[in-house]
Chain A
Amino acid sequence: MGDLLDRDLISNLPQSIIESILTRLPIRDAIRTSCLSTKWRYKWTTLTHLAFDEKCVTLSNDRTLVERSLIDFITRALFLHQGPVHKFQLSTSYLQSCPDIDQWILFLSRNDIKELVLELGEGEWFRVPSCLFYCKKLTRLELFRCELDPPPAFKGFLCLKSLNLHQVLVAPDAIESLISGCPLLESLALSYFDSLALNIRAPNLKYLCLEGEFKDICLENTPLLVAISVAMYVTDDIAEHFEQSSNCNFIKFLGGIPRLERLVGHIYFTKYLSIGNDQGILPITYNHLKIIELYQVSFEDMKEILVVLRLITNSPNLQELQISGSSNTLAAIEASDLDFWEKQCPSDCAFGRLKVVKMTDMSGVPHEMEFIKFLLKKSPVLETMSITPYAYVLDGRLNMLIELVSFKRASPEAEILFIQD
């Protein structure tokens, strides 16, 4: 026995290392270590990170059985656990709304929970119990397919830094006050909300990710925002609402974020920005904006391309630009105002840092080609310009190439890549 003790390679490592190892194991393997030897019996019980999913139990075709055994497993694990639980993650489609989850959250709220991730299945959405709102130390909250109903007395999570709500049912004003009630909030992600009109007031917010049908977004107080990614879907009512709006969306959305470093917009985002009165000169310069990615930009809509122009001319340090088109080729035979680019752009404008440009889904419509010509002319340090034609445009490709060849390039290093499938 004494000989064995000397040979034991691992049991006498510091507890912090043991926990570091056990945390990297699937929870079931970690708990199994309790039957290795007397020293290992309770080593797992002080783990502060617990992550459960359906791999904890044996799967079978009987869903109720799996659900039951998963609930039992988690309940017992929590019951045997000692000490604080800082991170709890539950990701499984086998559980939806069930009363046991309420009890687990109650348990966690009494054990200093800091990061909570609940990813539940389709079906009846889990209604988050009120004890969640008393988790004072919460720094990260991620909910998938839940119902959130903050009690009236709830002021906010004072320590919350990261909030991610995906398919969460919550009243719009509740979201707004939740966001503004979290003064330390740095990262916010909202996905799949229907017709949300949102005023975001988050003085420390750095990362914003929005996806869904948003009627109206106003970044009222987000001066430290560094990266934005927006995927905006539009239904008919929202489109109508867009028509009637008179505010300048560009200013409302991008007007108060001088520290922006990266901007990504999908689907209707550019269209959304184009609505409202164009003020002429933009009052804000994005000195830190290095990467712009705009998808589904319609180069036939003069307002949309004006948005693109405004953005790039107000970003003196832009390094990377990626734009994908979405033009209706049949309609674009005739295009007016082809010297738009030169006219609207200040004469001394040059994209002094722009190195990489990627144009995808190009149909070869006149304004697309003009834009490429414009960029080539005004980018003295350009390294790569890659153009990928729209997959279903086959005839126009040769013409596109012929035009491309004739464009003047300001940068002697510039490579033009025409990417075929």
Chain B
Amino acid sequence: MSEGVMAVVKPEMKSYIWLQTADGSIQQVEEEVAMFCPMICREILQTGMGSSKNYAISLPQRVNPAILGLILDYCRFHQVPGRSNKERKTFDEKFIRMDTKKLCELTSAADSLQLKPLVDLTSRALARIIEGKTPEEIRETFHLPDDLTEEEKLEPLRNITDDPRIRLLNRLYARKRKELKEREKLKNVEVEEERVDERSVDDLLTFINGGSGESKGVKTNKNKKKNRRRKDHPKDSSTSVNGSHNKDLDALSSDYHDGDIINVESPSPSSSKLLDSTSVTFSPKLEFDDCDIDDDLDPAMKEELDREVEDFARRLNSDWPERMQEILSLGQERKLAPININGNGSAHRYTSLDRR
């Protein structure tokens, strides 16, 4: 069928197709192998290119020479019609064993050449890599930037076993969220507006982070949301507690918001003033967070939790009020410079904020 396309060819010689990758290098490959690729096949049939070195078919940019070699190996095996399904599967399983970086490049290249069976194979392999891993592990494997804001990642964890560490952790998260909110208000207004939009969706992104599927993440509209959730709380044991806290909370919200407003209007209020208002609101709020926590804890979450708890535990050597004071004063000064509160690890939190 390609006789019209080929130049001078002796009958017993194999026909070759010439391919050129984006970096300029040219390869030749057996015709039947190249034709297995729909994109190359189309190029040959429609434009007649590929018959000689000067008229090599230009491949898409995503195909580099090393990856092209891999793809051609795949094509060379599979274009032979007589192979059994078992043989093909065995080949595929062996073929797919390569490092993640190459696998991603291969997926991209196969997609640009429209080689669907190979795309399916690599997608499956990538899915197998992702499955069951924690977010940290996935980020590590694929070199993903950890650029979600702390706000976006923080959410109360479920504490079914009444674990004091988790209670503590959630308090810290709540504290952190409040800090971040204050910080944002002190920054550009535009940024704030943008993030306000995000936040309403964030409210709904509740069950990510592998919580038992339903950790009710509370971000900015948290007071309102917490109110609602309080009413729907299914657990009998905590309903009485909930009831009383609802009332507390209503009273609290106004206080809390007042506190915020004060913050915005006077960028550097006296720390004592802020301390006063927040010390009033803070303790009930701690209780409040406690009651949030119910239901089971995802085992995968447990690992994450343990790590985070260690992290935090290191930072909690000092007493609570002192720590609070330091954090608040940091907020006032709008400084994001890392400050060694307890030594190890604490700096980490602030630098990640820096990156925003």
Q: Is A40 an interface residue (CB 8 A)?
A: yes
CB-CB contacts below 8 Å: B228-265 with A: 234
Query: Are the C-beta atoms of B145 and A1 separated by less than 8 Å?
Result: yes
Q: Is B138 an interface residue (CB 8 A)?
A: yes
Query: Are the C-beta atoms of B119 and A69 separated by less than 8 Å?
Result: no
Query: Are the C-beta atoms of A7 and B127 separated by less than 8 Å?
Result: no
Dominant secondary structure at the A interface: helix
Q: Is A35 an interface residue (CB 8 A)?
A: yes
Q: Is B296 an interface residue (CB 8 A)?
A: yes
CB-CB contacts below 8 Å: A23-78 with B: 24-26, 28-29, 31-41, 56-58, 60, 65, 68-70, 72-73, 76-77
Q: For residue B213, which residues in chain A have a CB less than 8 angstroms away from its CB?
A: 28, 56-58, 69-70, 72-73
Cα–Cα, bound, A70→B101 (Å): 36
Query: Are the C-beta atoms of B212 and A57 separated by less than 8 Å?
Result: yes
CB closest residue in chain A, given B209 = A35
Cα–Cα, bound, A58→B100 (Å): 30
Query: Are the C-beta atoms of A76 and B204 separated by less than 8 Å?
Result: yes
Cα–Cα, bound, A301→B146 (Å): 75
Shortest Cβ distance from residue A9 to the other chain B in the assembled complex, whole angstroms: 4
Q: Is B107 an interface residue (CB 8 A)?
A: yes
Q: Is B346 an interface residue (CB 8 A)?
A: no
Query: Are the C-beta atoms of A37 and B148 separated by less than 8 Å?
Result: yes
CB closest residue in chain B, given A62 = B296
Partner of B234, one of A4, A9, A60, A68: A68
Query: Are the C-beta atoms of B104 and A13 separated by less than 8 Å?
Result: yes
Shortest Cβ distance from residue A50 to the other chain B in the assembled complex, whole angstroms: 14
Q: For residue A31, which residues in chain B have a CB less than 8 angstroms away from its CB?
A: 207-208
Q: Is A344 an interface residue (CB 8 A)?
A: no
Query: Are the C-beta atoms of B130 and A29 separated by less than 8 Å?
Result: yes
Query: Are the C-beta atoms of B145 and A69 separated by less than 8 Å?
Result: no
Query: Are the C-beta atoms of A5 and B145 separated by less than 8 Å?
Result: yes
Q: For residue A134, which residues in chain B have a CB less than 8 angstroms away from its CB?
A: none
> Given A9-B101, A29-B131, A69-B295 in contact, is the A37-B147 Cβ separation under 8 Å?
yes
Query: Are the C-beta atoms of A35 and B153 separated by less than 8 Å?
Result: yes
Query: Are the C-beta atoms of A11 and B147 separated by less than 8 Å?
Result: no
Contact with A along B74-101 (1 / 0, CB 8 A): 0000000000000000000000000011
Q: For residue A57, which residues in chain B have a CB less than 8 angstroms away from its CB?
A: 212-214
Q: Is A79 an interface residue (CB 8 A)?
A: yes
Q: Is A401 an interface residue (CB 8 A)?
A: no
CB-CB contacts below 8 Å: A278-305 with B: none
Query: Are the C-beta atoms of B107 and A13 separated by less than 8 Å?
Result: yes
Q: For residue B127, which residues in chain A have a CB less than 8 angstroms away from its CB?
A: 21-22, 24-25
CB closest residue in chain A, given B101 = A9
- Best-surrounded residue of A32, A33, A34 (most CB of chain B within 10 A): A32
List 8 A-B pairs, minimum CB-CB distance, nearest first. A24-B127, A7-B143, A57-B213, A73-B213, A20-B123, A4-B145, A9-B104, A58-B212
| A-B residue pairs in contact (CB < 8 Å), sample of 24 | A4-B145, A7-B143, A8-B143, A8-B144, A8-B145, A10-B104, A10-B126, A13-B108, A17-B111, A25-B130, A32-B135, A33-B130, A35-B209, A36-B135, A36-B138, A36-B148, A37-B144, A37-B145, A38-B145, A38-B148, A58-B298, A73-B213, A76-B214, A80-B204
